[in-house]
Amino acid sequence: MPGASSRLIAIACGTAGLAGFFALWQVIGHYQLAGLSWPPLTAVLQYLFDPDRHALFLRAIDATLRSTIAGYLIGALTGIGLASIAYTLPMLQRGSDRFAAVVNSIPSIALGPIFLILISREATPAGVASIHVFFIVYVSMNSGLASTSQAHEDLFSALGSSRLKRFLRLNFPSAVPAIASGLRLSWPAALIGAIIGEWFGAPRGIGILIINSMQNFQINLLWSAVLLAAMASLFFFGMLTLVERAAYRRFR
């Protein structure tokens, strides 16, 4: 079977690429080709999985993930809500597009102080994360709604459907795959938002570890925190990819 063997080759190549990447990381770190700030992979892993630091890392990732998930949910619901309103009230559409673009363009580091005053130190990471997610989900849902086929629109018109029914039974389901894509893509953005939000005085979190270790030359801690954030991102990203696939299978 040529399909199976080419798939095997692809997996082998991909694994080789990843292995090469990690090997390069190790070699550069081991021979200090990039100076003292680039530790070998093994040193970082050793540091990260040292039982003495389990509590430290667990507390940090727990706080960051809580903020990320809260912001993610709020942002996704707001994005879906605004996109739905703008679609059903077309006179608001262009203004709400611009509103979303402007809100998204406020630099994340400037959002921090605003949320600090608006809500609280503890809730700021979730607030910044929610803004990132809001925009991606809003834009994805808009393009999903616009992808409703003309034949379906005609069918609903000829059958005398009301606007609300048309939205609920046609436009929204048509947009589900695009929304799922937006939900997948916005996860890393949510994590970035939470990490930046933590820089503004959150009591704990990965962002705090990153910024403190950067300023205090704790190189292994810095790399461990970043690696941990990357792993958390990848894990949820993978899960959301499965959700997205299911949405495409179900709604296409």
CB-wise, 88 or 96, nearer to another protein? 96
φ/ψ of residue 159, rounded to 5 = -85, 5
By C-alpha distance, which of 77, 113, 87, 90 is closest to 190? Answer: 77
CB-wise, 74 or 172, nearer to another protein? 172
Shortest Å, Cβ 227 to another protein: 10
Please give the Cα distance from 236 to 199 (Å, whole number).
23
Please give the Cα distance from 225 to 73 (Å, whole number).
24
Shortest Å, Cβ 17 to another protein: 4
By C-alpha distance, which of 221, 13, 196 is closest to 113? Answer: 196
CB-wise, 21 or 49, nearer to another protein? 21
Burial of 209 (0-12, 13-18, 19+ CB in 10 A): buried
Shortest Å, Cβ 60 to another protein: 12
137 neighbors 76 (Cβ within 8 angstroms): yes
122 neighbors 203 (Cβ within 8 angstroms): yes
CB-wise, 24 or 58, nearer to another protein? 24
Locus of tokens 């580091």 = 109
CB-wise, 52 or 252, nearer to another protein? 252
Shortest Å, Cβ 220 to another protein: 12
Shortest Å, Cβ 86 to another protein: 10
